Chains A and B, each alone.
Chain A
Amino acid sequence: MLLLAPGIIWLLLFGIVPLGFMIVMSFWKSTIFGTSPDFQFANYAQLFTTSLYADLLFKTLRIAVVVTVITLVLSYPVAYFISRRRGIWKALCILGLFLPFWTSYVVRAFVWLPILGRGGAINKALLSLGIIDQPIDWLLYNEGAVYVGLVYVYTLFMTLPIYLSIEKVDPKLIEAAVDLGARPRAVFFRVLLPLTWPGVLSGSIMVFLLAVSAYVTPQLLGGPSGIMYGNMIASQFLSNNNWAFGSALGVTLIAVVLVILGVSGRWVGLQQVFTGGARG
Chain B
Amino acid sequence: MSGADISAASGRAAAKVRLRDPYFAYRIVLGLYAAAFLVFLYAPLVMIAFLSFNDSPIIGFPFQGFSVKWYAKVLNTPVLLQSFGNSVMVGFLSAAIATVLALLLALGFRHAIRYKPGLLNLILVPIIIPGIVGGIVLLIFFGYLGVRSSLWTTVLVAHVNWVLPFAFLTLYPRLHRFDRALEEAATDLGARPLGVFRYIVWPLVRPAVIATVLFAFSLSFDEFIRTIFVVGYDRTIPVQFWSMIVDDLAPELPAMAVMIIFVSGFTSLIAFLVGRRAD
Contact = CB atoms under 8 A, between A and B. Distances in A.
A213 B133 contact: yes
Contacts of B61: 114, 119-121, 124
A254 B222 contact: no
B202 interface: no
Contacts of B109: 4
B113 A4 contact: yes
Contacts of B132: 213, 215, 230, 233-234, 250, 253
Contacts of A117: 60
Given A4-B113, A209-B130, A233-B132, A25 B51 contact: no
Interface string A93-115: 00111111011111110111111
Interface in B226-272: 228-229, 238, 241-242, 245-246, 249, 253-254, 257, 260-261, 264-265, 268-269, 272
A74 B4 CA distance: 25
Nearest to B161: A14
Nearest to A271: B120
B62 interface: yes
Counting chain A residues whose Cβ lies within 8 A of the other chain, the interface size class is 35 or more
Interface stretch (B74-82, B139-147, B179-187): B139-147
B22 A19 contact: no
Nearest to B123: A11
A113 B1 CA distance: 51
| Chief secondary structure at chain B's binding surface | helix
A22 B38 contact: no
Contacts of A14: 138, 141, 157, 160-161
B136 A233 contact: yes
A36 B122 CA distance: 30
A105 B31 CA distance: 28
Given A11-B125, A11-B126, A3 B105 contact: yes
A214 to B, nearest CB: 8
B164 A22 contact: no
Interface stretch (B12-20, B41-49, B64-72, B203-211): B41-49
Contacts of B100: 6
Q: For the side of the interface on B, what is the size category? A: 35 or more
A192 interface: no
A178 B4 CA distance: 9
Counting chain B CB atoms within 10 Å of each CB, the highest count among A14, A97, A121 belongs to: A14
B272 A98 contact: yes
B121, B128, B249: residue with the most chain A Cβ atoms closer than 10 Å: B128
A174 interface: yes
16 contacts: A1-B113, A4-B105, A7-B104, A10-B164, A11-B164, A15-B122, A21-B137, A96-B38, A102-B268, A104-B224, A106-B224, A107-B261, A112-B44, A213-B133, A250-B137, A257-B130
Given A16-B125, A19-B129, A274-B165, 10 more contacts: A22-B141, A77-B34, A100-B41, A103-B265, A107-B48, A108-B44, A114-B51, A254-B130, A274-B124, A274-B127
Interface of B: 2-4, 22-23, 26, 30-31, 33-34, 37-38, 40-42, 44-45, 47-48, 51, 58-62, 100-102, 104-105, 107-109, 111, 113, 119-133, 136-141, 143-144, 157, 160-161, 164-165, 168-169, 218, 221-222, 224-225, 228-229, 238, 241-242, 245-246, 249, 253-254, 257, 260-261, 264-265, 268-269, 272
7 smallest beta-carbon distances between A and B, as pairs:
A213-B130, A3-B108, A18-B141, A102-B268, A104-B222, A18-B137, A4-B108
